[in-house]
Structure 1
Amino acid sequence: MKTNSLSAWILAVRPYSLGNSVILVLIASALAYTDGGFRPGTALLCLLFALLMQCTANLVNDLWDFLKGADQPDRLGPDRAFAKGYITPRAMKTGIAAFTLAAGATGLGILGTAHDMLPYGGWELVAVGIACLVFAYFYTAGPWPLAYHGLGDVAVILFFGVIPVGFSYYVQTGNWTPEVTLVSLACGLVIDTMLMVNNFRDREEDARCRKRTVVVVFGAGVGRWGYLLLGLVPMALCLGLLATGRLWAALLPLPYAAAHIATWRKMVRIDHGDALNVCLGETARNIMLFGALMTIGILLG
């Protein structure tokens, strides 16, 4: 692959993972639509912001995991562009800055379209935007990276669940409901299954480079059972929507559990090595399934 080529950058932003951002904004917008507050322009800006922030986080992760020794050219997971030498250090830093600036500009666009309807005039969005930037950088970078101190899962649940779903809904409606809390937590837990299977696969490499993930700290057993629970607890949260009268939103996502359990059984059987990458692919598919079923269920009522 040619250094700093378009193909290298596509590899670096990890397009297979960007569907996570898409489903979060879709679910939030479906909730806003059924509550009479859907704003297409604002929703599109939220989607763009989410994608740009995820690309930023992926590039920072690519750079700093290599610098800290977690990503080597012979890593078990999918290729990392920087570790493979497909992107130069200067180009990577420039790319990170460019994506960060683009995300910031998009955030200002959201603020401009929504500030007049928000309880605090939009200042709360400034705080959320800063928090998203801090997460994107300090998940793997800085003197105390979250992913290296057992807080990666908490960060994913917050920044790939509660914050994107909750605030994508909030900037369209000016409100936050108990339903939004249930759905955003369910989304965060489901998406964290991807991190858990990654950390389960990489547990030996992570231990060698002192990346103290939950799996490294508490053992492979926690990785196995944690993965299972991360997919099943959201089903209980979805059933909580029955109390708010959203029958389809409560029941339609349940088939996800069957797909998740099938992947978990495969993960337990394989146990270690790059063969676990098939479980990573299935996990990404399962997350998309959950997102599609949840979105349709919300729209059906």
Structure 2
Amino acid sequence: MATFSQWLTGARPQTLPAALAPVAAGTGAAAALDGAHAFRALLALVVALALQVGVNYANDYSDGVRGTDDERIGPFRLTGSKAASPGAVLAATCLSFAVALAAGVWLLALCGHWWLLVVGAACIPAAWFYTGGKRPYGYRGYGEVFVFIFFGLVAVLGTTYTQADRLSFTALWAAIGIGALACALLVTNNLRDIESDAKSGKYTLTVRLGDAKSRAFYMTLVGIALLMVACMLPRHPWTGLVFFILPLLARPVRAVLSGKAGKELLQVLRDTGKIELLYGLLLGLSLSL
């Protein structure tokens, strides 16, 4: 049986900034509309974290039973390593999604926007079919689309709307910026596994684009995130605080441009996650000011 530490590692805590950042940015956008609610923000955070953990366990299960993780460079996997049975990992996936659903229903009961239940319900099959089912879209190069929509647009705009009861262009710019960095995180992950994914038939966008174009795509996504801050500056000057992340970008950008590969990209993955988290937190703080 897997230990608690192994279950924690299997939840991939290094990816959790992709859940924290959009809630922070969305709450800041709600504050800019004079509509921030702390408890609703907390519920949105529970939804985002539970969905992220659910996605990670679902990927662990689906990739493990397919044999995709038999030769793995990246972090520890429960199913692929046989530390936990596929059934146990599947149960953990379902439990995570159940927590997300419960917190989401509670949030909608408070804000009254029950039509968002349709959007929230779509998150679960979208998370499952990333690597699950007979034709997972993550294996066909559409993973970045899912990440941008659900961990960018839906997460940020949903957080703002359930608190402020309306949206703004500021919330949209924030959503695009967060979505771009979340995609950069996925590109880094897939760039690390490009060779093993290609051999196992997992044709991610990185595999389809190739090494050089994927590195250029990473740089483009980072540039889009910074451009979105520039779009917010005229109306919200405090968002200039976000540019304090620029020195932190030096190491991952240099590693990507220099052709680092395999395990050498694990540090880039961690750095990109930290940058997305700081981006979201600084954006949330600056918009609140």
Residues matched between the structures, number: 289
Q: 2:103 aligns with which of 101, 106, 115?
A: 106
Output the aligned Cα RMSD. 1.5
Aligned match of 1:185: 176
Mark the runs of 5 or more structure 2 residues left unpaired by the alignment.
Answer: none
Give the ranges of 4+ consecutive aligned residues of structure 1 lying more than 4 Å apart after TM superposition: none
Q: 1:36 aligns with which of 15, 34, 37?
A: 34
Q: State TM-score, norm by structure 2.
A: 0.95
Letter in 1 for 2:94: A
- Distance apart, 1:228 and its partner CA: 0.8
Deviations 1:142-186 (A, max 9, x none): 122121111111111111111011001101111111111111010
Q: 1:206 aligns with which of 188, 192, 197?
A: 197
Q: 1:252 aligns with which of 235, 238, 241?
A: 241
Q: Percent identity?
A: 28
> Is 261-270 or 225-234 further displaced after alignment?
261-270
Aligned match of 1:294: 283
Indicate conservation of the 8 Å contact 1:52/1:100, yes or no.
Answer: yes
Question: Is the partner of 2:80 in helix, strand or coil?
Answer: coil
Letter in 2 for 1:291: G
Indicate conservation of the 8 Å contact 1:139/1:147, yes or no.
Answer: yes
Aligned: 1:9 with 2:10:
no
Aligned match of 2:45: 47
Give the alignment of 1:224-243 within 5 angstroms: 224-243=215-234
Which whole-Å CA distance do the structure 1 matches of 2:221 and 2:66 have between them? 28
Aligned match of 2:80: 83
Give the alignment of 1:171-182 within 5 angstroms: 171-182=162-173
Of the two structures, which has the highest relative contact order with CA contacts closer than 8 Å and spacing of 6 or more? 2
Which whole-Å CA distance do the structure 2 matches of 1:273 and 1:242 have between them? 38
Which whole-Å CA distance do the structure 2 matches of 1:93 and 1:224 have between them? 33
Question: Is the partner of 1:160 in helix, strand or coil?
Answer: helix
Which whole-Å CA distance do the structure 2 matches of 1:278 and 1:99 have between them? 27
Which whole-Å CA distance do the structure 1 matches of 2:246 and 2:223 have between them? 6
Aligned match of 2:92: 95
Letter in 2 for 1:289: L
Letter in 1 for 2:243: L
Indicate conservation of the 8 Å contact 2:180/2:225, yes or no.
Answer: yes
Indicate conservation of the 8 Å contact 1:8/1:87, yes or no.
Answer: no
- Distance apart, 1:261 and its partner CA: 4.2
Deviations 1:99-135 (A, max 9, x none): 22222211211121111xx4xxx12x11111111111
Q: State TM-score, norm by structure 1.
A: 0.91
